[in-house]
Amino acid sequence: MRPQRVLPILCILLLFSVATAGCTVNLNPANVQSNASQAPLGTNSSGTSNGTAHMLAVEQADDNNSYQGALSDVTVYTQPGAGHVFVETAPLTGVDFQETARTAVNVAAERAKVDASQRDFEFVLHVPTGVDAVDGPSAGLPMTIAAYSALTKKPTSPYVYGTGAIESNGTVSNVSGVYLKALAAAQSGARVIVVPSGETFVSTTSPLSENAIANVNLQAQLQKDGYNVTVVGVKTFDDALPYYFT
């Protein structure tokens, strides 16, 4: 059961601490355990391969009255099997995240021209210290990228960060809190930030605001904040591939 104090956030990958029911992620990059550029990529004698991608999230801040971006990574391992999809239990993952893992595998396998029923997949999360649970669908794009990387044995760029829900047909759907996620990515050294095509203009207010107006150019705002990044809007998973694998 999730803590009662944690508010439901539609289309946000929400990181929270079960022990405190509050946020635990510090945006200082030194405190973020980002392993995308460190995890080995390849295939061993048993046919196991893996791929990694950055994930972006939004969480409640320490004062419980505001929100901030949060960073984590997902590594997908694949090996010959029977079509099972496993998700690491530390940190705990919710139903939305688990369902997204299955969709990510199916989309990635179709694009890689691999029969997913003949392989097993394991999703392992690398999160900041103190994060006990992860849920939500908005990491669908990076999860699919990581699965595709594992299947094709192509490494992802460590400088590309992305957010977006993934549909079964490969469509990248809108999510919440895009500005806060992108800001966290920029602070962590992102050069390219991939977002849903409909969210290159965003609101910089709270992701829970019912009256938010998406009228701020995301790239212009990040540059105004002092970060030299390129924001790319994509409609489909295929649109995102050139940015992750060049």
Q: Which residues are catalytic, by number?
A: 138, 181
Distance, CA of 104 to CA of 154 (rounded, Å):
17
Tokens read off for 77: 């391992």
Contact 76, 39 (CB under 8 A): no
What is the three-class DSSP state of 27? coil
Distance, CA of 168 to CA of 126 (rounded, Å):
25
What is the three-class DSSP state of 79? strand
Residue reference for tokens 């910089």: 204
HSE of 232, CA atoms in CB hemisphere, 13 A: 20
Tokens read off for 211: 């009256």
Burial per residue of 152-186, b for 16 or more beta-carbon CB atoms within 10 angstroms, e otherwise? beebbbbbbbbbbbbeeebbbbbbbbbbbbbbbbb
Contact 227, 182 (CB under 8 A): no
Task: Please report which helix (H) or strand (E) contains residue 140, including its range.
Answer: helix 140-152
Bridge partners (DSSP) of residue 52 are 75
HSE of 196, CA atoms in CB hemisphere, 13 A: 22
